[in-house]
Amino acid sequence: MAQDKQPTVLIVEDQADVCSSLRVLLSLVGCQTVSASNGQEALDYLHGNSPPCLILLDLRMPVMSGVEFLHRRMLESALMAIPVVVCSGEVSGKHEAAEHGVDYCCKGSDPVEILGLVSRYCGVSFRQAC
């Protein structure tokens, strides 16, 4: 697959080790990744670049939380078209995801669950990584 044709996933996560792990996992299935350490960085990226096939979003971050990002996303139709999966260890994460009509996975989930979501939204096969 050509480098510029790889699907891109935006990882919005303030914990460097979690972000790094997700980047490695997604690279195994041929996804490019870009990262933002908070919701404001994610918005800045989205306003200046082609949309990713998926946003993996943490909820608790400095500057702009994932919840605030989801509220801001609802105000822009272009952003609403980008699928989001809330990846959070917060008890309220599943509720927040459901309230905003997005998918949810628990932070630290089985990698197969995350790859299944990426496969659904980005059209990649994760069998090559297993």
CA gap 40, 120 in Å, rounded: 26
Q: The sheet that has 8-12: what strands, in order across it?
A: 32-36, 8-12, 54-57, 84-88, 103-106
Domains and CATH numbers, the chain: 28-90+100-122 (3.40.50.2300)
| C-alpha distance from residue 55 to each of 17, 130 (Å) | 18, 23
Here the tokens at position 72 are 């801001």
pLDDT higher than threshold 60 for residue 4: no
Give the count of beta carbons closer than 10 Å to the beta carbon of residue 125: 11
Encode pLDDT of 100-123 as tens digits.
Answer: 889 998 887 788 888 889 989 998
CA gap 128, 130 in Å, rounded: 6
Encode pLDDT of 39-98 as tens digits.
Answer: 999 999 999 999 999 999 999 899 999 999 999 999 999 999 999 999 988 777 888 888
Average pLDDT over residues 2-12: 80
User: What is this structure's pTM?
Assistant: 0.89
Give the count of beta carbons closer than 10 Å to the beta carbon of residue 53: 18
